[in-house]
């Protein structure tokens, strides 16, 4: 527990901002955890990925990082675990392969989604729908921060288990 408390304090110190912020969910918040600030620090990012790896389900075939913040996390987690990675765009690119999931096939593979911050779960829901349409088995989501604003519950409605490294409560306790 002390390790998680220390990690929460480091993540909070690196990324906690105050002001007025529009979230992806459409809600406004007076606090924001800027994932790019903790993802841009190599030592902190490595420690975050080490803590995330503990939650990785043993039957995982692939990691899938969601654009944009989930990509560096999935990349490092892939290097740490040896599991192949895929990268899920917000929308398919309009040229070249025109894929939404880059890096190889997903059909029939058990994929764990990798996300930075989950608030309402909207980006995860979108990615899950697309990957399942392509034949992937998606049941678990690793994230750095669960803001505890309904995302876990929304994900559970479609059979997803959220596996956060840190929660909003952890970050609040680290003040």
Domain boundaries, the chain: 2-173
Average pLDDT score over residue span 67-91 = 96
Annotated binding-site residue numbers: 24, 89-90, 93, 115-123, 147
Q: Which residues pair with 141 in a beta bridge?
A: 113, 162
Q: State whether residue 169 is helix, strand or coil.
A: helix
Annotated binding-site residue numbers for orotate: 119, 147
**pLDDT value at 133 more than 90:** yes
Average pLDDT score over residue span 93-119 = 93
Average pLDDT score over residue span 146-159 = 97
Rounded distance between C-alpha atoms, residue 154 and residue 119, angstroms: 10
Name the more confident of 96 and 164: 164
Annotated binding-site residue numbers for 5-phospho-alpha-D-ribose 1-diphosphate: 24, 89-90, 93, 115-123
Angle at 45 between CA 78 and CA 160, to 5 degrees: 55
Q: Does domain 2-173 have CATH number 3.40.30.10?
A: no
pTM: 0.95
């Amino acid at each position: 527990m002390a390790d998680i408390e220390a990690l929460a304090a480091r993540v909070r110190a690196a990324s906690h901002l105050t002001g007025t912020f529009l979230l992806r969910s459409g809600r406004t918040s007076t606090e924001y955890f800027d994932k790019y600030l903790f993802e841009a620090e190599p030592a902190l990012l490595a420690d975050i990925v080490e803590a995330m790896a503990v939650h990785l389900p043993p039957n995982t075939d692939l990691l899938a990082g969601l654009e944009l913040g989930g990509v560096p996390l999935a990349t490092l987690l892939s290097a740490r675990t040896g599991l192949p990675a895929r990268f899920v765009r917000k929308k398919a690119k309009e040229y070249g392969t025109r894929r939404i999931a880059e890096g190889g096939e997903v059909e029939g593979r058990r994929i764990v989604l990798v996300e930075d911050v989950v608030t309402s779960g909207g980006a995860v829901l979108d990615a899950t729908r697309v990957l399942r349409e392509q034949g992937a088995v998606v049941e678990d989501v690793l994230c750095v921060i669960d803001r505890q604003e309904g995302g876990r519950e929304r994900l559970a409605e479609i059979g997803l288990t959220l596996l956060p490294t840190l929660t909003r409560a952890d970050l609040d306790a680290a003040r």
